[in-house]
Amino acid sequence: MRSMMSLGRNGVSRDKVHIEKQGIRAIIGPDCWNRTVPQDCQISLEMTTNFSKASQSDELRYSLNYAVISKEVARFVDTNKDYKTLGKLADKVLHHVKNKYLGIEKLALTAEAQEAHIRAENIRLLIHAPQEHPYTDRLVISGLKLLTLIGVFTFERMQKQYVTIDIDVPWDKHSDSNINHQKVIQEVVSFVEASNFKTVEALVECVAHLALLQPYFEQNRSAAVIVKVLKLNAITATEGVGVSCTRTLADFSGKEVPKVGQSQFLSEVFDLPAVQVTPVVSGKPSVAYLAFGTNVGNRLANIQCAIDLLNANADVIVRKTSSIFESEPMYFQNQPQFLNGCLEIETRLSPNDLLRLCKHIEYEDLKRVKEFENGPRSIDLDIILYKNGNGEDIVMSTADLVVPHPRLIERTFVMEPLCELVPPNEVHPVTAEPIINHLNQVYEQLNDEDVLCKLIPLPKINGADRFLKFKNKLIKDTVSGRLTAATVSPTLTMGIVNTTPDSFSDGGKLGNDVSSQLLRIKEMVQDVLSLNEQVIIDIGGCSTRPNSAQATLDEELERTISLIRAVRACDSLPQEKVILSIDTYQSEVAQQAIEAGVDIVNDISGGKFDSNMFTVLANNPAVAYAMSHIRGDIQSMSKLTVYDSEDYNEDAVTEYCYGHEFQNKDSTTLIRALARELAVQYKGALDMGVKSWQIILDPGVGFAKNADQNLDIIRSIHVLKNYSVLKNSEFVNFRNKPILIGPSRKKFIGNITGETSAADRDISTGSVASACVGYGADIIRVHNTANCVKSIKMADSIYRQTRL
């Protein structure tokens, strides 16, 4: 009686005897070179039996003798006989062994052939006797190694990579229409190697569909195919990563047969396919992001004109502009440099209608002439991203338009300005990875000379373009390991010219004589230009020291406008290198100073003291604006130095630094409160039409801050420079904003050094200026330019050249 110890509940034995990969040679049809010759094969047997008596008695005669069976298999297979297929060989061996050895209750046989096809690692057949269920016998095409264009990253789109594919299909020895593995391999190879995929999920689905087109599946519609795809070089420290799926014909009901993808051959340009979707939500405006580029004519005027033309359309509102960046031509090198940036617009136009508007602006309004692809252009407007009224990303591909833009993630001059407009958690709708991650990945591969310059446009002089230029590169923080931005461009020196009788430091020193004031400016220009390529002269006609009496509008105008005109009329000054700034919080003074020739409005109130200031700046997009942080007014600010953290747990607020969510260790409460308050003013300026490219940030050292807070601000310049906040879906971003610091001769320096007279603090100011350079300041405002410019130059050499 059979031992019940070796039987399962259904009476089937639980014991098995194995023969693994016994080598044989047989003719099983054409080999990989289409020769009908014996091939090396392997046979594996899994024999279900009951060897309980053998295990108890330790006698081999009560079990299956695998040595005998192995010899029998070798004897049975005739090396010179043509079995026609691997399936017929396997079936004959299976039934011979099962019939000859009565102790075998169930037999599973696997036959493998390594030479059956040149593209596959092996062809494997698994069959059973008896076959308990339909489709349990399987044919497996294993390790089909192919080259294809797959992935969503820039480097993946520019070079094909290896994938391996396993195709597992049913095998029926009684069917006349069994799967022809040669035909399956041919069709899969032809399709995959000529196609273009973003994901292995799409690839595995297409291969499954192709395999199911075999006639066998029409007769066996419930039969399933299993496909597994691995990308071999996708992730380091792994042999491969990928996916598998199980599909039947029913899964593809009504679906078109897979066709060769968009990129049949490897292209030298980035190509990311997308699918067509219905984009617009009725009754709700969409949000789109446009990239602009211009390199001929009056480039800034081209950009502003394009913005005005977009706004002139009843279905478009330009909500935000990015900074402007200077970039080298990307494809055709022999042409002028580009000015690039991005716009965020609200629109009721569909993507295709928006495209038509952009093209009309390019070719009809701004008369773009396209002599050849990627050549010079007056303006180029590209749709980068499009979100419908529900905030859903639109992914589409037509002959005329692909959204998201197929080359978005290879172009720093698009991603950099785009990352100013979208939060750090904004995910690319195709790659499913934050856009800022793509930008960082590209930057890690760039040479220093390829890092973009951020530009602040200035009014032209003698028809020549003038800009302030700032460059930041990514470096890895040695403590956190995170990528952070470091300033590498030279620090600019801003020389202070006070025309007031009551300035805290040098009030009345220059008197009211324009000639003596002009002479002092010439000295300052000579001081700075001996070491730098540009100099900023900041002319002020109203003292802003705490509790000071404020000049009337007429007094301020009288003290400043005639001097500005005299500077611009002076032939001995290199006008294109002299950047004039007006230190005022009054919009009328700013307006008249702009008309007289200033390039920068330096407003200690950040637009709080005069509601018309932002309007003046919005009407003059080529004039820079230094926006300072302050609390209260001239009389009350010294009492407003408490910066609480009680509101920092708001659920609707997310703060970032360098694109990472803020951690408590990233900064003090002061900097976060200051940055939040400055962000409110910044957003207010943008809402009034001031362009992002105009704005320079000033944390307001000495204004509503005590001595320790001033030091904390200096230590946190790099934090403010890369602060951003997302509140109730409103995003404000200071990404790599130029920072102006004005520490010169201020009281907090005297508190440390014991210098009671402001005029005695120049050496100490030079030390503070050097520290500001180290922490990332871009412009430093000083009284004594002769000495401070040397300190700044030395600090640049120490801190910034080491980052190049």
More confident residue, 545 or 211: 211
More confident residue, 574 or 60: 574
The pLDDT score that the predictor gives to residue 664 is: 64
**Strand residues in 406-515 grouped as ranges (E):** 453-461, 464-476, 483-487, 492-498
pLDDT digits (tens, 9 = 90+) for 324-381: 999 887 666 566 788 999 999 999 999 999 999 999 999 888 876 665 555 577 899 9
Containing H/E element for 250? none
Is 295 within 8 Å of 339 (Cβ atoms)?
A: yes
With helix as H, strand as E and coil as C, how does 336-387 read? CCEEEEEEEEEECCCHHHHHHHHHHHHHHHCCCCCCCCCCCCCCEEEEEEEE
What's the length of the chain? 804
Average pLDDT estimate for 640-668: 74
Closest by CA to 107, choosing from 116, 98, 99, is 98
Instruction: List every span in the chain annotated with CATH 3.20.20.20.
Output: 489-803
pLDDT band at 272 (very low <50, low <70, confident <90, very high): low
Return d(Cα 467, Cα 244) in angstroms, integer. 55
Which CATH class, in words, describes the domain spanning 489-803?
A: alpha beta
The pLDDT score that the predictor gives to residue 159 is: 74
Active-site choice (382, 583, 603, 778): 382
> Which stretch, 195-209, 521-535, 659-673, has highest mean pLDDT?
521-535
Residue 270 has pLDDT above 50, yes or no: no
The residue whose two tokens read 């009309």 is: 360
Instruction: List every span in the chain annotated with CATH 3.30.1130.10.
Output: 4-252
Which CATH class, in words, describes the domain spanning 286-445?
A: alpha beta
Quick check: is 368 catalytic? yes
Is 666 within 8 Å of 657 (Cβ atoms)?
A: yes
Residue 42 has pLDDT above 90, yes or no: yes
pLDDT digits (tens, 9 = 90+) for 457-471: 999 999 999 999 999
More confident residue, 118 or 318: 318
Bridge-based pairing state of the strands 196-197 and 138-150:
parallel
Quick check: is 377 catalytic? yes
The pLDDT score that the predictor gives to residue 366 is: 86
Residue 510 has pLDDT above 70, yes or no: no
Fill in the DSSP letter of residue 637: G
Q: What is the CA radius of gyration of the chain?
A: 37
The residue whose two tokens read 């899964």 is: 251
The pLDDT score that the predictor gives to residue 158 is: 62
Q: Would you say the C-alpha torsion 586, 587, 590, 596 has a positive or negative sign?
A: negative
The pLDDT score that the predictor gives to residue 267 is: 40
pLDDT digits (tens, 9 = 90+) for 123-165: 999 999 998 888 999 999 999 999 888 876 656 666 788 999 9
The residue whose two tokens read 């801190």 is: 799
Can you tell me whether residue 233 is helix, strand or coil? Answer: coil
Distances (CA, A) of 576 to 496, 534, 724: 19, 8, 34
Q: Token pair for residue 703?
A: 């204004």
Active-site choice (157, 247, 299, 377): 377
More confident residue, 218 or 620: 620
Distances (CA, A) of 582 to 533, 553, 565, 594: 20, 14, 12, 9
Is 115 within 8 Å of 31 (Cβ atoms)?
A: yes
Tell me the H-state helices in 27-135. 52-57, 66-76, 86-100
Which amino acid makes up residue 476?
K
pLDDT digits (tens, 9 = 90+) for 164-190: 999 999 998 776 667 788 889 999 999
Find residue 108's DSSP bridge partners: 46, 128
Share of the chain above pLDDT 70, in %: 88
Phi, psi of 276 (to 5 degrees): -80, 135
Return d(Cα 230, Cα 239) in angstroms, integer. 9
Is 353 within 8 Å of 400 (Cβ atoms)?
A: no
Supply the angle between the helices 762-775 and 785-795 in degrees, to the nearest 10. 30
Return d(Cα 719, Cα 130) in angstroms, integer. 73
Average pLDDT estimate for 67-86: 93
pLDDT digits (tens, 9 = 90+) for 371-418: 555 557 789 999 999 999 999 999 888 888 889 998 888 888 999 999
pLDDT band at 274 (very low <50, low <70, confident <90, very high): low
Quick check: is 778 catalytic? no
Active-site choice (380, 666, 762, 796): 380
Task: Assign residue 180 a region (left: φ > 0; alpha: ψ between -120 and 50; beta: otherwise).
Answer: beta
Phi, psi of 543 (to 5 degrees): -65, 140
Residue 728 has pLDDT above 90, yes or no: no
Is 622 within 8 Å of 300 (Cβ atoms)?
A: yes
The pLDDT score that the predictor gives to residue 232 is: 82
The pLDDT score that the predictor gives to residue 198 is: 78
The pLDDT score that the predictor gives to residue 651 is: 63
Closest by CA to 664, choosing from 648, 676, 678, is 648
Instruction: List every span in the chain annotated with CATH 3.30.70.560.
Output: 286-445
The pLDDT score that the predictor gives to residue 2 is: 45
Q: For the residues of 234-247, what is the DSSP string, one character each?
A: SSTTSS-EEEEEEE
Residue 264 has pLDDT above 50, yes or no: no
pLDDT band at 505 (very low <50, low <70, confident <90, very high): low
Phi, psi of 159 (to 5 degrees): -150, 130
Fill in the DSSP letter of residue 549: P
The pLDDT score that the predictor gives to residue 666 is: 59
The pLDDT score that the predictor gives to residue 801 is: 64
The pLDDT score that the predictor gives to residue 476 is: 72
Closest by CA to 20, choosing from 109, 124, 138, is 109
The pLDDT score that the predictor gives to residue 155 is: 62
Return d(Cα 58, Cα 240) in angstroms, integer. 45
Find residue 352's DSSP bridge partners: none
Residue 280 has pLDDT above 80, yes or no: no
The pLDDT score that the predictor gives to residue 234 is: 64
Can you tell me whether residue 683 is helix, strand or coil? Answer: helix
Residue 265 has pLDDT above 60, yes or no: no
pLDDT band at 278 (very low <50, low <70, confident <90, very high): low
Task: Return all residues near 204 (Cβ < 8 A) that are at least 6 apart.
Answer: 227, 228, 229, 242, 243, 244, 245
The pLDDT score that the predictor gives to residue 802 is: 55
The pLDDT score that the predictor gives to residue 4 is: 46
The correct CATH number of 4-252 out of 1.20.1740.10, 3.30.1130.10, 3.20.20.70, 3.20.20.80 is 3.30.1130.10
More confident residue, 101 or 151: 101
Find residue 318's DSSP bridge partners: 345
Whole-prediction pTM value? Answer: 0.75
CA angle at residue 262 from 257 to 267, to 5 degrees? 145
74 burial level (CB within 10 Å; 0-12, 13-18, 19+) = middle
The pLDDT score that the predictor gives to residue 1 is: 38
Quick check: is 138 catalytic? no
Share of the chain above pLDDT 90, in %: 61
Active-site choice (124, 299, 368, 407): 368
Q: Token pair for residue 581?
A: 């700034």
